[in-house]
Amino acid sequence: MKRILLTVASLCLAVTALAQPQLRKDNIDEVLKAMTLEEKATLLVGGARAAVVNGVTSGTAWQVPGAAGNTRPVERLGIPGTVLADGPAGLRIQPTRQGDGNTYYCTGFPVGTLLASSWDIDLVEKVTTAMGNEVLEYGVDVLLAPGINIHRNPLCGRNFEYFSEDPLLSGKMAAAYVRGIQGNGVGTSIKHYAANNQETNRNEDDAQVSPRALREIYLKNFEIAVKESQPWTVMSSYNKLNGRYTQQDVDLLTTVLRDEWGFQGIVMTDWGNKAGTVTSTKAGNDLMEPGNQNEIDRIIAGVKDGTISQEELDRNVRNMLNYIVLTPHFRGYKFSNKPDLKAHAAVAREAAGEAMVLLRNENGALPLKGDEKVALYGISAIDFVAGGTGSGDVNKAYVVNMEDAMVNAGFTLDKGLADYYKAFIAYDKAQTALNGTTFSWFSRRKLAEIAIPAAAIQNEAKANDVAVVVLGRNAGEGADRRQVDDFELTNVERELLRDVSTAFHAAGKKVVVVLNIGGVIETASWKNMVDAIVLPWSPGQEGANAVADVLTGKVNPSGKLPMTFPVNFMDHPSSANFPYNYSNAGNMRGFGWGPRQPQKDVDYTKYEEGIWVGYRHFATKGVEVSYPFGFGLSYSYFVYSKPVVKATADGFEASVTVTNQGQVAGKEVVEVYVHAPEGGLEKPARELKGFAKTKLLAPGESQTVTVKVDSYSLASFNEATSAWETPAGNYEVMFGASVNDIRRSAFYKAKKAQSWPVHNVFALDRK
Ligand code: BGC
């Protein structure tokens, strides 16, 4: 009897031991088999994040305070929890911890729009290699970045996080970003997939986009990023696309993302899963974030009643396990909590300088000598915007503002003026404290510009050598910008520019404007008043030093615009269908609004402009712009020569020689546009198909740059055949310094037409 009992006991032990395999890279199927339904459902739903309530940090040891979310561990099977944190301008975690004297600051790098302005793949990889090191060393597994939605309209509140109005530039930047981060052995999440091009009612708005525009503009950058960098994760968006929530859309998440593009990672929801957890799970949305018990229960119920098949469940769980074995938490990486913030600050400064765009420089107003007496105007010189608000806001140890940066660079600032601004800011702070006003992370307030009396400006014009005016804008998650007093200048800003220009020009002195903005603003009405305009966007914690580097000529600017600056807001065809003057309560539909009729641009947004987004519209229709896509000046001048286009087995190679004919060393971005043969689908006059940046060319030095273009990237999407099609014929290949400044061209002859059929899935009236 004793022996029988012993045998049963050891059998039981053996069964339990068998059923408890510990996760390894090579036993994923075995672990999957051993998992209970509850454990599987648990793995598909994120867990409570470490939070700070009344100063006390909750969470378990493996969690990272301030990280946006987690995946849950299944300890029995050796499946660790993993940590997900924002992105994209650096890692966002909580900088201090209860009862812990250490700090956990992260580097505030330049925002996505500035990185894209560099048009420099290597530079972006260098930045994100540094950024990814902070992700690794602070114990985080996935950076929730990059944000890659297309700049459909200048007023999207999160454009600063995103790269460009052009899908090729955006896709190439995204791939470089992902490679840099993932080179550290941590993951990325390209977001927000897809058509999340406005913040107003972002949770519910139905983006109504034609299949062609979707494929060519709004999905193209995701396609490039997936194929060229295989991000560990993709984040589906909050909004609907052609009638379906993207997180519940099998066409988007499985048919296109996995079957057509070969994506191998996991898809997670943006931070709020809809009630349809079951539909999301079936659609191929592997992970619900931030996650709650209801979602686990729904998945369990869905499997039990057969709505979710065993294959669907296991497919998602397998994806999760494949992801988990990649992570530092799985590897047991001993992170230091001590990344080299000093070295990374230097990378941030270098990148901001390299990417900055010089929009105007009349009569060589810049560079300055570096020892001038400067009248520094604008509240943003002190209240400097290093990055935007919301989840993209990095908790950095410090922000260098323009005042510090100018002094660091050796300029002497007008003290009276500096004191005036400082006194105002101090007063404002005191008032704010008095009123007890607090600002949520959705709405870090930007101080409005303050008026300076014209008489004072006249004195400053006498006492100083040059005026530098900093104009600022802040924007972020949860709300779009407005046309009035945001895209357009405020009256106080106009008066400031007018009075400063009048007084300084009367005194024979120059006026330089620095645009410390997150999104495009109106420039056409005032740019001719001033001598120079520098565009650093929101350049990160060291960005103001980089502005000074450009002002003094320590850095020769070589950035170019990743989007168009229109003359008027309404010139953008998307403006007719964008909530530009909507007094919105952010993304919070239903908060006190109650039921109502579906409202245009709020509950649904018709992308009536189709593929005619940004320069595709302006360059084709010949509409005047203030600054065209791809535009940016240098302190040097570059000449393009010897354009050559050579057919390859599958497309062509385009090369051109660039010579620096200026007096100082500099870099030039060469943009390659294509004009397709006439007939067939209507196509833009010029479409970006490639780009290259030269090395630093000494005066007189030349470099031949080469760009490869394959036939598939020449294709347009034909809705009638549901295929990508590249017609045969002559393609004009143009080498441009901007989309409106074509310097050389040559022809490529496509001998045969080619087509790539894909699934016919995004009909506007699909169910
Ligand atoms: C944002 C995402 C972000 C997430 C986690 C969401 O509200 O849309 O971009 O990654 O929050 O913080």
The whole-number pLDDT of residue 64 equals 93
Ligand 1 atom with the shortest distance to the CA of 144? 10
| Residue 645 and residue 546 in one domain | no
- In one-letter notation, the amino acid at residue 150 is I
User: Is residue 209 domain-resident?
Assistant: yes
**CA-angle at 364, arms to 358 and 370, nearest 5°:** 85
Ligand 1 atom with the shortest distance to the CA of 196? 8
Cβ(509) – ligand 1 distance below 6 Å = no
Q: How far is CA 649 from CA 224, 706, 732, in A?
A: 21, 16, 18
User: Is residue 569 domain-resident?
Assistant: no
The residue whose C-alpha atom lies closest to atom 11 belonging to ligand 1 is 271
Q: In what order do the strands lie in the sheet with 604-606?
A: 244-245, 240-241, 206-208, 604-606
Under the banding of pLDDT at 50, 70 and 90, the label for residue 57 is low
Under the banding of pLDDT at 50, 70 and 90, the label for residue 586 is very low
Distance 89 CA to ligand 1 centre (A): 13
**In which element (H, E) is residue 651 found?**
strand 651-660
Structural domains in the chain (count) = 3
Cβ(470) – ligand 1 distance below 6 Å = no
**Helix 220-229 and helix 167-182, axial crossing angle in degrees, nearest 10:** 30
| Residue 410 and residue 291 in one domain | no
With beta carbons less than 8 A apart as the criterion, state whether 559 and 357 touch: yes
CA distance linking residue 222 with residue 13, whole number of Å: 49
User: Is residue 86 domain-resident?
Assistant: yes
Distance 270 CA to ligand 1 centre (A): 6
The residue whose C-alpha atom lies closest to atom 3 belonging to ligand 1 is 391
Q: How far is CA 721 from CA 273, 712, 750, in A?
A: 35, 16, 20
Instruction: Provide mean pLDDT across the span 60-68.
Output: 88
Nearest Cα to 212, choosing from 608, 687, 579, 617? 608
Distance 391 CA to ligand 1 centre (A): 6
User: What are the structure tokens assigned to 346, written together?
Assistant: 């230097």
**In which element (H, E) is residue 462 found?**
helix 454-463
CA distance linking residue 663 with residue 680, whole number of Å: 47
| Residue 102 and residue 198 in one domain | yes
CATH of the domain at 366: 3.40.50.1700
Nearest Cα to 473, choosing from 578, 351, 378, 572? 378
Distance 143 CA to ligand 1 centre (A): 11
Distance 587 CA to ligand 1 centre (A): 12
Ligand 1 atom with the shortest distance to the CA of 202? 8
Cβ(391) – ligand 1 distance below 6 Å = yes
Distance 488 CA to ligand 1 centre (A): 28
Domain boundary among 563, 580, 597: 563
Q: Is a pLDDT exceeding 70 seen at residue 531?
A: yes
| Residue 548 and residue 657 in one domain | no
Cβ(70) – ligand 1 distance below 6 Å = no
The residue whose C-alpha atom lies closest to atom 4 belonging to ligand 1 is 271
CA distance linking residue 576 with residue 568, whole number of Å: 13
With beta carbons less than 8 A apart as the criterion, state whether 40 and 27 touch: no
The whole-number pLDDT of residue 677 equals 96
| Residue 463 and residue 425 in one domain | yes
Under the banding of pLDDT at 50, 70 and 90, the label for residue 129 is very high
CA distance linking residue 359 with residue 534, whole number of Å: 6
> Which residues does the annotation mark as catalytic?
270
Cβ(86) – ligand 1 distance below 6 Å = yes
| Residue 253 and residue 188 in one domain | yes
Torsion of CA 547, 549, 550, 555, to 10 degrees: -140
Cβ(531) – ligand 1 distance below 6 Å = no
Location of structure tokens 């269908």: 577
Instruction: Provide mean pLDDT across the span 201-206.
Output: 93
Distance 157 CA to ligand 1 centre (A): 14
Nearest Cα to 390, choosing from 478, 266, 281? 478
Percent of the chain surpassing pLDDT 90: 87
With beta carbons less than 8 A apart as the criterion, state whether 681 and 718 touch: yes
Task: Work out the number of other CB atoms within 10 angstroms of the CB of residue 529.
Answer: 15
Instruction: Look at 4 and 478; give whichever has higher pLDDT.
Output: 478
Cβ(658) – ligand 1 distance below 6 Å = no
The whole-number pLDDT of residue 585 equals 44
Cβ(733) – ligand 1 distance below 6 Å = no
The whole-number pLDDT of residue 183 equals 98
The residue whose C-alpha atom lies closest to atom 5 belonging to ligand 1 is 68
Cβ(549) – ligand 1 distance below 6 Å = no
Nearest Cα to 686, choosing from 677, 696, 676, 694? 676
User: Is residue 256 domain-resident?
Assistant: yes
Q: In what order do the strands lie in the sheet with 69-71?
A: 46-47, 69-71, 82-86, 142-144, 187-193, 233-236, 266-268
pTM of the prediction? 0.95
Q: Which of 270, 273, 274, 440 to mutate to test the pocket of ligand 1 (most atoms within 8 A of CB)?
A: 270
| Structural domain range at position 707 | 636-757
| Residue 275 and residue 385 in one domain | no
State phi, psi for 512 to the nearest 5 degrees: -115, 135
The residue whose C-alpha atom lies closest to atom 6 belonging to ligand 1 is 271
User: Is residue 704 domain-resident?
Assistant: yes
User: What are the structure tokens assigned to 540, written together?
Assistant: 């990160």
| Residue 393 and residue 490 in one domain | yes
Which residues have a Cβ under 8 Å from the Cβ of 348 and sit 6 or more positions away? 107, 108, 109, 110, 127, 130, 540, 541, 542, 543
The whole-number pLDDT of residue 272 equals 86
Which residues have a Cβ under 8 Å from the Cβ of 493 and sit 6 or more positions away? 449, 471
| Residue 518 and residue 390 in one domain | yes
Cβ(535) – ligand 1 distance below 6 Å = no
Distance 193 CA to ligand 1 centre (A): 12
Q: How far is CA 638 from CA 56, 123, 435, 656, in A?
A: 58, 21, 55, 12
Cβ(270) – ligand 1 distance below 6 Å = yes
Instruction: Look at 289 and 589; give whichever has higher pLDDT.
Output: 289
Percent of the chain surpassing pLDDT 70: 92
Domain boundary among 531, 563, 595: 563
Instruction: Look at 74 and 592; give whichever has higher pLDDT.
Output: 74
Beta strand pairing call for 532-535 and 510-516: parallel
Question: Strand, helix or coil at 570?
Answer: helix
With beta carbons less than 8 A apart as the criterion, state whether 600 and 582 touch: no
Distance 271 CA to ligand 1 centre (A): 6
User: Is residue 592 domain-resident?
Assistant: no
| Residue 703 and residue 736 in one domain | yes
CA distance linking residue 15 with residue 302, whole number of Å: 29
**In which element (H, E) is residue 346 found?**
helix 341-355
State phi, psi for 139 to the nearest 5 degrees: 80, 25
Q: Which of 64, 83, 391 to mutate to test the pocket of ligand 1 (most atoms within 8 A of CB)?
A: 391
Ligand 1 atom with the shortest distance to the CA of 87? 10
Query: Rounded mean pLDDT of the chain?
Result: 93
Distance 663 CA to ligand 1 centre (A): 46
Q: Is a pLDDT exceeding 80 seen at residue 210?
A: yes
Torsion of CA 527, 532, 538, 541, to 10 degrees: -160
User: Is residue 18 domain-resident?
Assistant: yes
The residue whose C-alpha atom lies closest to atom 8 belonging to ligand 1 is 270
32-51 pLDDT tens trace: 999 999 999 999 999 866 66
CATH of the domain at 158: 3.20.20.300
Ligand 1 atom with the shortest distance to the CA of 237? 8
With beta carbons less than 8 A apart as the criterion, state whether 731 and 747 touch: yes
Cβ(144) – ligand 1 distance below 6 Å = yes
User: Is residue 665 domain-resident?
Assistant: yes
With beta carbons less than 8 A apart as the criterion, state whether 149 and 519 touch: no
Which residues have a Cβ under 8 Å from the Cβ of 229 and sit 6 or more positions away? 174, 175, 176, 178, 179, 182
Q: Is a pLDDT exceeding 50 seen at residue 588?
A: no
Q: Which of 144, 161, 205, 237 to mutate to test the pocket of ligand 1 (most atoms within 8 A of CB)?
A: 144
Q: Is a pLDDT exceeding 90 seen at residue 8?
A: no
Q: In what order do the strands lie in the sheet with 651-660?
A: 638-648, 651-660, 702-710
Question: Strand, helix or coil at 45?
Answer: strand
Under the banding of pLDDT at 50, 70 and 90, the label for residue 3 is low
- In one-letter notation, the amino acid at residue 291 is G
Domain boundary among 563, 582, 599: 563
Q: List 639's β-bridge partners, or say none.
A: 659
With beta carbons less than 8 A apart as the criterion, state whether 260 and 759 touch: yes
Question: Strand, helix or coil at 390?
Answer: helix
Ligand 1 atom with the shortest distance to the CA of 161? 9
CA distance linking residue 488 with residue 289, whole number of Å: 37
State phi, psi for 627 to the nearest 5 degrees: -140, 125
494-514 pLDDT tens trace: 999 999 999 999 999 999 999
What does the H/E/C string look like for 273-313? CCCCHHHHHHHCCCEECCCCHHHHHHHHHHHHCCCCCHHHH
| Residue 398 and residue 325 in one domain | no
Distance 664 CA to ligand 1 centre (A): 43
The DSSP symbol for 678 reads S
| Residue 123 and residue 208 in one domain | yes
Beta strand pairing call for 142-144 and 187-193: parallel
